[in-house]
Amino acid sequence: MGADNTPFGFTSNAVCAVSAATPSLLISVGAGSRTLPAIVASQAFAVNFLSVEGQAASELFASKATDKFAHVEWEPSALAAGAPLLTDVALSYAECRIVDTTRADDHWLFTARVEGTAVFPRVPLLYRRGEYSAWSSHHDASLPVLEGAR
């Protein structure tokens, strides 16, 4: 969430688990990202893992659009400084507080403790080699099946 309570967000393919002992995630954010100042100021973020219903949101948040949140339903996180939670299209989300920051060339790496999560009974959205797909055991006929996912 920005300083004036404006929500910020972007599509990322650089998220990884750090530890299960103390649930934590690492995200990579480009130094030129418009979301970066909001993350730095709040020292918190949310990761929204999208369902197949979230493909349009993924494409929107990968764009340079300035009104991204006018096109999605969201609510502010109570545990991650108001970070946006996309509850209508998320498969799950993680509400995170930053514990470490590292500069890595043209990106910033944020390691964060997971403060809260939610999981919804939806089909996962996958992205591989520039294409969206659905998990094969829950195949959505409008999306290609990811080879080798069976």
- 110-149 residue pLDDT tens: 999 999 999 999 999 999 889 999 876 655 556 555 554 4
The pLDDT assigned to 138 comes to: 55
Hey, where are the domains in the chain? 15-123
Written as six digits, the tokens of 103 are 């500069």
Residue 60's SS3 state is: helix
Angle at CA of residue 68, ends 132 and 88, nearest 5°: 65
The pLDDT assigned to 59 comes to: 96
Asked if residues 67 and 61 have their Cβ atoms less than 8 Å apart, the reply is: no
The pLDDT assigned to 50 comes to: 97
Record the pTM: 0.87
The pLDDT assigned to 3 comes to: 64
Which are the contacts of 63, defined by CB distance < 8 A and separation ≥ 6? Answer: none
Asked if residues 44 and 98 have their Cβ atoms less than 8 Å apart, the reply is: yes
The pLDDT assigned to 24 comes to: 98
Low-confidence ranges of the chain (pLDDT < 70): 1-3, 136-150
Q: What's the gap between Cα 7 and its chain centre? A: 13
The pLDDT assigned to 141 comes to: 59
Decide which of 2.40.10.120, 3.60.20.10, 2.30.110.10, 2.60.40.420 is the CATH code for 15-123: 2.30.110.10
Mean pLDDT of the chain: 90
The sign of the CA dihedral 68, 30, 98, 58 is positive
The pLDDT assigned to 140 comes to: 54
